[in-house]
Amino acid sequence: MISRTELYNFLEEKHDQYNRHEFIESDPISIPHQFTKKEDIEISGFLTATIAWGNRKMILRNANRLMELMDNAPYDFIKNFTDKDLKAFEGFVHRTFKGTDCVYFLKSLRNIYKNHGGLEGAFSIQPKSINIKETIISFHNLFFELEHQHRTRKHVANPERNSAAKRINMFLRWMVRNDKRGVDFGIWDKLPTNKLLCPLDVHSGNTARKLGLLTRNANDWKATEELTESLREFDNSDPVKYDFALFGLGVFEKF
Condensed to tens digits (0 to 9), the pLDDT of residues 226-236 reads 999 999 999 99
Q: Which pLDDT does position 128 carry in this prediction?
A: 58
Q: Which pLDDT does position 105 carry in this prediction?
A: 98
pLDDT tens-place string over residues 116-173? 999 999 998 765 567 899 999 999 999 999 999 999 999 999 999 999 999 999 999 9
Range of the domain at 47: 4-251
How many other CB atoms sit within 10 Å of the CB of residue 73? 16
Our CA dihedral for 86, 59, 26, 197, rounded to 10 degrees, sits at 100
Are residues 90 and 100 in contact, defined by beta-carbon separation less than 8 angstroms? yes
Distance CA 8, CA 31 (A): 31
Q: Which pLDDT does position 126 carry in this prediction?
A: 67
Q: Which pLDDT does position 246 carry in this prediction?
A: 97
Distance CA 26, CA 60 (A): 8
Which uninterrupted H or E stretch holds 94?
strand 93-94
pLDDT tens-place string over residues 81-112? 999 999 999 999 999 999 999 999 999 999 99
Q: Which pLDDT does position 127 carry in this prediction?
A: 57
Q: Which pLDDT does position 26 carry in this prediction?
A: 92
pTM of the model: 0.96
Which range has the worst mean pLDDT, 61-75, 101-115, 240-254? 240-254
Q: Report the mean per-residue pLDDT for the chain.
A: 95
Q: Give the mean pLDDT of 28-34.
A: 98
Q: How many domains in the chain?
A: 1
Distance CA 36, CA 6 (A): 39
